[in-house]
């Protein structure tokens, strides 16, 4: 069935092992990508409905998963399991909200390294200092018209979720922004 | 001028090579281009704007108005750079400007002969005066344009990289001199995140030339130790915007070779919680005849040249001043070797302390005197000095003093620009004779010289008035504005300070009046009998000083729109797809076979669709999931027709109107469940429709239990159309029947193709029996491959936008070309879709008089009568004569060759179009010389009863 | 300009798009009184001073906000979620 099929790789030619820009010293940023088999939005009719936290909690309990609020009525989840959508639908009654399958709507790019804040500051009008953007939190923003969700995993690691149709362009923008300090694509 | 053997922060152990106007020179790290040239004895740096007068250095930093150069790097020209701000690097190539054929022998100097005529308003008075209504202006325009401007822009593409970056801080300190660094240190020690910007390569400001380098180093070390401060040298903050947002330009690598991946300039957008303005103050000149002769400098700039850059002004120097700071500068400068031979002070009485300095320096002191003229052809060699009264009128005979250099000081101007860019008016301080920072928001503070700290109190006089001046006295050096220009403006009625500025161009040059505004305003104030404060300044605007366009553009040049790709993009490219960007999305126009033109390709594809089958990528359509118990009710309010009556697993074509009753978008709603609809929109309107729906749910009907979510990227889509479409579909779909009973027109089924769960809706855009197949994007290519394989034996072809357009034109199906914001549903023949049973967005305004009257543009078809192609935008007219087409009856919205009709056809919006069907008319496109006969026909050129679709 | 989105926090103006005057009440959709509808769709008071308006946090959480903003000084006086503002406003 479709769940066992591997989705087409979204990134194109730029996704190969290579270092770009500054070649000497340790790279400022390394990019990797992990396949998220399930990605979904949970939307509730009421602002700050507790079901949003319930959905996030259920996803994170699976381990290695992402779940964070993206709006007053919205949450985003991403994990490597196939069966999250039915589980989420069972948590959200129709009278209170809805679950939207976005498993193919977004892609996940992980950016990690000592200069990751510097690089991301070129693309997003966000304060990436760790005092302002704490590990374990996620935000919704955009680079020009390319919407992206951004989740901070640790001091030096972020995972970004742009829309699939912009994946190649967004990867190109990340690589270009990282060239100043040296950026590695670890395909 | 000459190099001192000691002193300055230059590294005499290293030598840098550079050229200026083709001549080779050497300098040292730490030099600016100006200091290196001066050290080599160069006195002539440029020619002035209007009069082409010989000019030398006036200042040592950002206050410099004369020495504008062009730096050339790999053929790329960067003009209008003050030589005092160009860091010397090995291999630098620079040229002077505004002179021909050379700086030394400049033909432009002939302008000086006509100097009396070239005052303010010269062009207007000449060409609207005696030469009004003649074509004389057009003849002279050519020469005037060549003479205009200072530097020349280059035309070689600039390969440098420019970037922008965002920054946030608790405190932004603008200016890294002593006061700024101290403020930054206090905040950083208290745990605040601080950013300090300074336009110089080193921090410390004046500390670099008052010998306080140890104090500077201690401050910098302490700041570093806090771990809370980001220091940005070579960074000029140039704009202040709402919300304490600032624009700054960092010169990352103009002064050296760029490293790989490194930008040349970086545009910073800094958001600050609190702001400390520590921008300091610049000295201003005195206005007297011959004050622009090379060798006349600002007094403290002369000192800075020696103290920071190790360059002496000459063996001897003099000072002309109206305040005490020139004396201190003289004493400090003399310590480096040059002899101060003369101090001329406008003030009748000076303090004992100043007198003592003059005595110690063994300088002749003339109080109550003024410099009334300068001499020297290659550069200054003497000054004429005469006694003056309190208003600076000359009262006695003049005496000539020999001197190599003259420092002048008319007082100090705090650099308040950034604090006034939001429109607040600065006040004038009578003691300091200067405009001070205006009332500031609570989060702002001013420290140091910009707040007036340490500034001397000058005499309130800036202009010297000899009875018979022997030379021009300059107020604005860069724009060649003289004292007489101010008087002229006053005589001619341009007395408001904003008019004075535009009429004389005072303060309009790249230095934005930093050394000139106050003298000009003071003179106008005097003529008006007002105070300087009452006369006021002109409005301060960003940028504070010159900024490269590259830095502002950053990554946004060339192909600036991001590329949005469908899941089948690579297949299109590999199979002859001639893709182009329709907005953001890349879509194939057609799949060209070798030797085919575009028209041949799309005609072949369209024909194949009507005769066999075709497959087109429709992934770009907007797809919005509408969910909730009130989803159906919401769609009833949003669409013109009923959606709540749509059965589950059926689709319905729908129209949306704007609130003003005009047509907004068309699309299809698929009911996937009782409370779940998938709404499609046109590609171009996807974002707008989404916002439209979100607005109504948030701001008008927040009580509805309904949410909308864009799923455009999640689903890849393809349309399989043609008489063979059902057969092809049935061979590749499992899990669902697709015969006419199971999947009637507008039905939906869930099925599987190549192992992928898909949704199939039987919809037609082309007029053929057609099916839209939606698969999750990551599997869409697999599905596309399977359909193509299934259809290979039956003549299935891929088709692109051009064929898609042709098919829909033949069918008369409207798109955004007809839904252009000016048409109603009825105009396009869709008036029957407006329900009378319920209100919906736009229903209240849709029947306004103007929207239902006769004479509106209505949708029709057009057929070429002479075998020529129609062109989009051409006007429909009744007259046969090309030279008198008469009035436009409408215009062509789409045009193509139709294989089904075997003629060139189009769609058009024509006045009372439906009544004109059956008549002939003409297309007029005078700009392209086209005038051709057409027939007005029904827009539904094939299958008007829809039997091909519904069977 | 920076707007403090109630959900996302202080964000740059570039993330938001203006969605019109928030001082109007939409007429009864069943009504076809042209004067009332013309007024609602076309006429606006051009306030000099504090103006209440809708903004969409387009590049962030996509919530609509009701913002009170001074059209002269550009000061943002207050921000609230539009749906809460509208729900509380209904009788």
Which pLDDT tens digit goes with each residue over B725-772? Answer: 999 999 999 999 999 999 999 999 999 999 999 999 999 888 899 999
- Which CATH number is B726's domain given? 3.30.1360.120
Mean pLDDT for chain C overall? 94
Does any domain span residue A46?
A: yes
Q: Which of A101, A127, A152 is the last residue of a domain?
A: A101
Give CA–CA dist A153/C3, Å, rounded: 27
**Per-residue model confidence as pLDDT tens digits over B272-304:** 999 999 999 999 999 999 999 999 999 999 999
Query: CB-CB: which of A2, A126, A146 is closest to B756?
Result: A2
Q: What distance in Å separates the CA atoms of residue C2 and residue C76, rounded to the nearest whole number?
A: 8
Tens of pLDDT, residues B362-415: 999 999 999 999 999 889 999 999 999 988 999 999 999 999 999 999 999 999
The answer on A171 and A118 residing in a single domain is yes
DSSP B8: S
Neighbours of chain C (3+ CB pairs under 8 A): A, B
- The per-residue pLDDT for B126 is 75
Residue from the list C13, C41, C63 with its beta carbon closest to the beta carbon of B698: C63
Query: Residue A111: is its pLDDT beyond 50?
Result: yes
Sign of CA dihedral B801, B806, B811, B813: positive
**B593 and B718 housed in the same domain:** yes
Nearest chain A alpha carbon to B191 = A131
Contact A160, A11 (CB under 8 A): no
Q: Which of B148-162, B208-222, B481-495 has the lowest mean pLDDT?
A: B148-162
How big is chain C by its Cα radius of gyration, in Å?
Answer: 14
Closest CA to B15 of B71, B89, B95, B93: B89
DSSP C26: P
Chain B residues with CB-CB distance to A14 below 8 A:
none
What CATH number corresponds to the domain at position B326?
3.50.50.60
- To the nearest whole Å, the CA of B481 is away from the closest chain C CA by 35
Dihedral, B193, B196, B201, B203 alpha carbons, nearest 10:
-100
pLDDT in tens, B151-179: 888 899 998 999 999 999 999 999 999 99
The two three-digit tokens of residue B713, written as one number = 């990227």
CA-based diameter of chain B, in Å?
115
- Per the document, the length of chain B is 951
- Looking at mean pLDDT, say which of A81-85, B419-423, B781-785 comes out highest: B781-785
- Write the residue in A20, A22, A168 that is nearest to B259 by C-beta: A22
Quick check: is B939 in a domain?
Answer: yes
Name every chain B residue with its beta carbon within 8 A of the beta carbon of A94. 628-629, 675
B780 contact residues in A (CB cutoff 8 A) = 8
B653 with B679: CB under 8 angstroms? no
Same domain, A119 and A179: yes
Helices B299-309, B325-334: crossing angle, 10 deg rounding:
30
Smallest CA–CA distance, residue B876 to chain A, in Å, is 39
| Rounded Cα distance, B256 and B512, in Å | 28
How high does pLDDT run on average in chain B?
94
Q: Are residues A111 and A175 in the same domain?
A: yes
A140-168 residue pLDDT tens: 999 988 999 999 999 999 999 999 999 99
Question: Do residues B636 and B599 share a domain?
Answer: no
Determine contact, residues A164/A10, Cβ cutoff 8 Å: yes
Name every chain A residue with its beta carbon within 8 A of the beta carbon of B263. 180
Q: Look-up: residue for tokens 């190099």?
A: B3
Give yes or no for C86 touching A (CB within 8 A): no
Confirm or reject contact between A164 and chain B (CB < 8 A).
yes
Q: Does residue A137 sit in the same domain as residue A47?
A: no
Kind of pairing between the strands at B23-27 and B46-47:
unpaired
- Tell me what percent of the residues of chain B surpass a pLDDT of 70: 99
Which has the closest alpha carbon to B507: B493, B524, B491? B524
Kindly state whether C1 is in contact with chain B, defined as any CB-CB distance less than 8 angstroms: yes
Q: Does A42 lie in the same domain as A22?
A: no
- B-facing residues of A in 82-101 (CB < 8 A) are 94-95, 97-98, 100-101
pLDDT digits (tens, 9 = 90+) for C42-85: 999 999 999 999 999 999 999 999 999 999 989 999 999 999 99
Q: Look up the CATH number of the domain holding residue A175.
A: 3.30.1360.120
How much is the pLDDT for A78?
96
- By the 10 Å C-beta count (0-12 exposed, 13-18 middle, 19+ buried), B411 is classed as buried
Instruction: For residue C11, list chain A residues with Cβ-Cβ distance below 8 A.
Output: 125-126, 141
Q: 3-class SS at B558?
A: coil
In a domain, B884, yes or no: yes
Does residue B364 form part of some domain?
Answer: yes
Is 60 exceeded by the pLDDT of residue A1?
A: no
Say whether B338 sits in a helix, a strand or coil: coil
Report the residue of chain A nearest B586, measured CA to CA: A165
Which A-chain residues 50-89 have CB contacts (< 8 A) with chain B? 73
What average pLDDT does this structure show over B57-83?
94
Encoded tokens for B170 = 């608790």
Q: Which residue has the higher pLDDT, B943 or A121?
A: A121
C89 close to A (CB below 8 A): no
Those residues whose C-beta lies under 8 Å from the C-beta of residue B931, and which sit 6 or more positions away, are B880, B881, B882, B885, B922, B923, B924, B925
CATH of the domain at B861: 2.40.30.110
- A64 assigned to some structural domain: yes
Helix (H) or strand (E) holding B305: helix B299-309
The residue from B640, B675, B710 where one domain ends is B710
Closest residue of chain C to A138, computed from CA coordinates = C8
Spatial distance between the Cα atoms of B219 and B182, rounded to a whole number of angstroms: 7
Say what the pLDDT of residue A3 is. 58
Furthest-apart CA pair in chain A: how many Å? 58
| Residue B613 shares a structural domain with residue B743 | yes
Neighbouring subunits of A (3+ Cβ pairs under 8 A) = B, C
Asked if A102 reaches chain B (Cβ–Cβ under 8 Å), the answer is yes
Of A47, A139, A147, the CB nearest to C8: A139
Shared domain for A21 and A111, answered yes or no, is: yes
Both A112 and A152 in one domain: the answer is yes
Distance, in Å, from the CA atom of B9 to the CA atom of B282, rounded to the nearest integer, reads 21
Residue B470 lies in a domain: no
| B93 and B227 share one domain | no
Q: Closest approach of chain A CAs to the CA of B266, in angstroms? A: 10
pLDDT, position C18: 96
Domain that includes residue B267, residue range: 162-281
The Cα of A61 is separated from the nearest Cα of chain B by a number of Å equal to: 25
**Tokens encoding C15:** 């993330």
Domain count, chain B: 6
Q: Residue B90 has which token pair?
A: 């090995």
CATH number of the domain enclosing A61? 3.30.70.1520
Check CB contact under 8 Å for A41 and B714: no
Domains of chain C and any CATH numbers: 2-89 (3.30.2270.10)
Band the pLDDT of B470: cuts 50, 70, 90: confident
B interface with C, Cβ–Cβ below 8 Å: 241-243, 245, 271, 637, 659-660, 691, 694-695, 697-700, 702-703, 839-840, 843-845, 847-848
What does residue B302 show for φ and ψ, rounded to 5 degrees?
Answer: -60, -40
**pLDDT averaged over every residue in chain A:** 94
Say what the pLDDT of residue B211 is: 85
B650-669 confidence digits (pLDDT tens):
999 999 999 999 999 999 99
Q: Is B633 helix (H, G, I), strand (E, B) or coil?
A: helix
- Is there a single domain that holds both residue A115 and residue A180? yes
| pLDDT the model gives residue B663 | 97
Integer Cα distance of B680 and B685 in angstroms: 10
A63 domain-assigned: yes
Is A44 part of a structural domain of the chain? yes
C-alpha distance from B696 to closest chain C C-alpha (Å): 10
The alpha carbon of residue C63 is apart from the nearest alpha carbon of chain A, in Å, by 7
CA pair distance A38, A7, nearest whole angstrom: 12
Taking residues B447-476, report their average pLDDT. 93
The residue-averaged pLDDT of B63-78 equals: 93
Residue A113, domain extent: 16-33+107-185
CB B839 within 8 A of CB C31: no
* Contact across the interface for B847 and C32, Cβ inside 8 Å: yes
How confident is residue B862, by pLDDT bands cut at 50, 70 and 90? very high
Check CB contact under 8 Å for B260 and A22: yes
For residue B226, tell me if it sits in a domain. yes
A71 with C61: Cβ contact below 8 A: yes
A126 touches chain B (CB under 8 A): yes
- Extended beta strands in B361-484, E state: 364-367, 369-375, 382-387, 399-402, 405-409, 412-414, 428-429, 434-435, 444-446, 474-476, 481-482
Alpha-carbon distance of B772 to B653, in angstroms, equals 13
Task: Say yes or no to pLDDT of C90 above 70.
Answer: no
Domain tally, chain A:
2
Residues B289 and B405 in one domain: yes
What's the pLDDT score for residue A124?
A: 96
Q: Cα–Cα distances in Å, from B832 out to A66, B379, B541, B662, B945?
A: 49, 87, 56, 15, 16
Phi then psi dihedrals of residue A174, to 5 deg: -65, -45
| C50 CB-near residues (< 8 Å, 6+ apart) | C68, C69, C70, C71, C77
The closest alpha carbon to A174, from A115, A96, A95, A134, belongs to: A115
| One domain, residues B102 and B190 | no
- What is the pLDDT, as a whole number, of residue A2? 47
The pLDDT of residue B147 is above 80: no
pLDDT digits (tens, 9 = 90+) for A5-42: 889 989 988 899 999 999 999 999 999 998 999 999 99
Tokens of B402: 């020999």
Between B and C, how many residue pairs show a Cβ–Cβ distance under 8 A? Answer: 67
Q: Identify which of B241, B694, B844 has the shortest CB distance to residue C62.
A: B694
Q: In chain A, what is the straight-line distance between the N-terminal and C-terminal CA atoms, in Å?
A: 27
Separation of alpha carbons A161 and A40, rounded Å:
12
At residue B835 the predicted structure's pLDDT band, cuts being 50, 70 and 90, is very high
Q: Is C52 on the interface with B (CB under 8 A)?
A: no
Are A93 and A136 part of one and the same domain? no
DSSP for B878-938 reads: S-S-TT---S--EEEEEEEEETTTTEEEEEEEEETHHHHTT-EEEEEEGGGTEEEEEEEE-
ipTM of the complex model = 0.98
Share of chain B above pLDDT 90, in %: 84
Q: Are residues A62 and A95 in the same domain?
A: yes
């Amino acid at each position: 069935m479709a769940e066992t099929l591997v989705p087409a790789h979204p990134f194109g030619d730029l996704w190969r092992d290579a270092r770009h820009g500054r070649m000497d010293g340790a790279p400022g940023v390394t990019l990797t990508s992990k396949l998220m088999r399930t990605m979904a939005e949970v939307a509730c009719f009421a602002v700050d409905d507790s079901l949003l936290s319930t959905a996030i909690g259920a996803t994170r309990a699976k381990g290695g998963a992402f779940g964070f609020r993206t709006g007053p009525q919205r949450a985003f989840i991403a994990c490597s399991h196939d069966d999250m959508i039915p589980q989420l639908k069972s948590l959200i009654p129709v009278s209170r909200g809805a679950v939207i399958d976005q498993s193919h709507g977004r892609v996940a790019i992980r950016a990690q390294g000592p200069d990751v804040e510097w690089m991301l500051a070129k693309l997003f009008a966000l304060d990436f200092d760790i005092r302002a953007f704490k590990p374990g939190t996620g935000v919704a923003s955009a680079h020009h018209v390319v919407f992206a969700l951004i989740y901070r995993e640790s001091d030096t690691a972020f995972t970004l979720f742009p829309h699939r149709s912009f994946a190649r362009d967004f990867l190109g923008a990340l690589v270009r922004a990282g060239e100043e300090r040296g950026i590695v694509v670890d395909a | 001028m000459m190099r001192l053997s000691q002193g300055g922060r230059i590294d005499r152990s290293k030598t840098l090579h550079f050229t200026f106007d083709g001549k080779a020179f050497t300098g040292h790290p730490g030099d600016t281009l100006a200091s290196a040239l001066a050290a080599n004895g160069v006195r002539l740096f440029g020619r002035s704007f209007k009069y082409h007068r010989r000019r030398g250095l006036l200042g040592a930093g950002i206050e410099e108005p004369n020495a504008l150069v062009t730096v050339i790097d790999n053929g790329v020209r960067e003009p209008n750079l003050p030589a005092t701000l160009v860091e010397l690097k090995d291999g630098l190539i620079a040229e002077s400007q505004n002179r021909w054929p050379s700086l030394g022998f400049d033909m432009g100097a002939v302008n000086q002969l006509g100097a009396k005529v070239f005052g303010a308003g010269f062009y207007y008075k000449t060409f609207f005066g005696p030469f009004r209504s003649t074509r004389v202006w057009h003849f002279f325009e050519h020469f005037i344009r060549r003479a205009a401007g200072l530097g020349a822009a280059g035309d070689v593409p600039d390969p440098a990289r420019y970037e922008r970056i965002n920054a946030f801080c608790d405190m932004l300190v603008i200016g890294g001199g002593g006061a700024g660094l101290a403020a930054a240190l206090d905040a950083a020690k208290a745990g605040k995140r601080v950013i300090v910007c300074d336009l110089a390569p080193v921090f410390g400001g004046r500390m670099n030339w008052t010998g306080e380098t140890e104090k500077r180093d201690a401050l910098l070390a302490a700041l570093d130790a806090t771990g809370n401060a980001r220091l940005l040298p070579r960074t000029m903050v140039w704009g202040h915007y709402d919300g304490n947002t600032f624009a700054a330009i960092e010169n990352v690598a103009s002064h050296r070779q760029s490293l790989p991946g490194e930008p040349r300039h970086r545009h910073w957008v800094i958001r600050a919680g609190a702001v400390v303005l520590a921008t300091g103050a610049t000295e201003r000149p005195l206005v007297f005849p011959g004050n622009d002769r090379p060798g006349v400098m600002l007094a403290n700039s002369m000192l800075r040249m020696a103290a920071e850059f190790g360059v002496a002004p000459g063996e001897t120097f003099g000072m002309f001043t109206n305040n005490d700071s020139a004396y201190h500068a003289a004493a400090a400068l003399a310590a480096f070797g040059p002899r101060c031979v003369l101090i001329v002070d406008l003030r009748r009485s000076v303090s004992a302390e100043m007198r003592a300095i003059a005595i110690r320096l063994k300088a002749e002191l003339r109080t109550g005197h003024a410099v009334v003229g300068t001499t020297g052809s290659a550069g200054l060699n003497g000054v004429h000095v005469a006694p003056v009264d309190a208003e600076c009128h000359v009262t006695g005979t003049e005496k000539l003093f020999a001197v190599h250099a003259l420092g002048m000081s008319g007082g100090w101007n705090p650099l308040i620009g950034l604090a006034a860019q939001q429109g607040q008016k600065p006040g004038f301080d009578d003691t300091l004779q200067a405009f001070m920072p205006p009332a500031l928001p609570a989060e702002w503070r001013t420290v140091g010289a910009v707040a007036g700290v340490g500034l001397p109190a000058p005499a309130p006089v800036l202009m010297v008035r000899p009875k018979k001046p022997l030379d021009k006295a300059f107020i604005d050096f860069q724009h060649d504005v003289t004292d007489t220009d101010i008087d002229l403006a006053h005589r001619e009625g341009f007395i408001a300070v904003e008019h004075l500025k535009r009429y004389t161009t005072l303060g309009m040059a790249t230095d934005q009046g930093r050394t000139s505004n106050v003298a000009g305003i003071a003179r106008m104030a005097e003529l008006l009998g007002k105070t300087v404060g009452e006369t006021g300044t002109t409005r301060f605007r960003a940028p504070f000083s010159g900024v490269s366009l590259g830095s502002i553009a950053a990554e946004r040049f060339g192909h600036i729109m991001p590329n949005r790709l469908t899941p089948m993009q690579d297949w299109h490219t590999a199979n002859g797809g001639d893709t182009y960007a329709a907005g953001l999305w890349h879509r194939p126009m057609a799949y060209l076979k070798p030797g085919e033109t575009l028209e041949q390709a799309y005609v072949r594809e369209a024909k194949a669709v009507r005769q066999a089958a075709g497959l087109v990528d429709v992934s770009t359509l907007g797809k919005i999931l509408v969910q909730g118990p009130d989803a159906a009710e919401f769609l009833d309010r949003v669409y013109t027709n009923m959606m709540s009556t749509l059965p589950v697993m059926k689709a319905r074509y729908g129209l949306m109107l704007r609130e003003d009753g005009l047509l907004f978008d068309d699309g299809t709603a698929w009911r996937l469940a009782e409370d779940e609809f998938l709404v499609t929109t046109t590609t171009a309107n996807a974002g707008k429709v989404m916002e439209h729906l979100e607005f109504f749910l948030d701001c008008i009907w927040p009580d509805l239990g309904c949410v909308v979510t864009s799923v455009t990227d999640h689903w890849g889509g393809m349309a399989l159309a043609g008489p063979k479409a059902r057969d092809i579909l049935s061979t590749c779909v499992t899990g669902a029947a697709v015969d006419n009973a199971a999947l009637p027109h507008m039905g939906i089924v869930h099925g599987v193709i190549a192992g992928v769960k898909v949704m199939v809706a039987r919809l037609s855009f082309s007029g053929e029996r057609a099916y839209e197949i939606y698969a999750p994007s990551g599997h869409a290519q697999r599905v596309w491959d399977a359909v193509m394989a299934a259809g290979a034996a039956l003549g299935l072809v891929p088709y692109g936008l051009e064929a898609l357009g042709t098919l829909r034109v033949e069918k008369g199906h409207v798109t955004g070309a007809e839904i252009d914001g000016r048409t109603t549903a009825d105009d396009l023949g869709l008036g029957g879709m407006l329900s009378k049973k319920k209100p919906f967005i736009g229903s209240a305004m849709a029947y306004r008089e103007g929207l239902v009257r006769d004479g509106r543009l209505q949708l029709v078809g057009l057929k070429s009568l002479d075998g020529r192609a129609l062109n989009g935008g051409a006007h429909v007219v009744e007259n046969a004569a090309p030279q008198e087409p008469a009035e436009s009856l409408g215009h062509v919205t789409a045009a193509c060759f139709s294989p089904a009709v075997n003629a060139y056809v189009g769609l058009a919006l024509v006045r009372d179009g439906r009544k004109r069907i059956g008549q002939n008319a003409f297309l007029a496109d005078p700009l392209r010389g086209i005038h051709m006969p057409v027939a007005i026909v029904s827009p539904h050129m094939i299958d008007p009863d829809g039997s091909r679709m519904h069977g | 300009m920076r707007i403090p989105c109630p959900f996302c926090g202080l964000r740059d103006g570039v993330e938001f798009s203006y969605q019109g005057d928030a001082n109007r009440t939409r007429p009864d959709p069943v009504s076809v009184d042209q004067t009332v509808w013309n007024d609602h769709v076309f006429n606006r008071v051009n306030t000099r001073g504090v103006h209440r308006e809708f903004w969409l946090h387009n590049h962030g959480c996509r919530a609509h906000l009701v913002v009170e903003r001074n059209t002269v000084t550009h000061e943002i006086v207050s921000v609230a979620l539009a749906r809460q503002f509208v729900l509380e406003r209904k009788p």
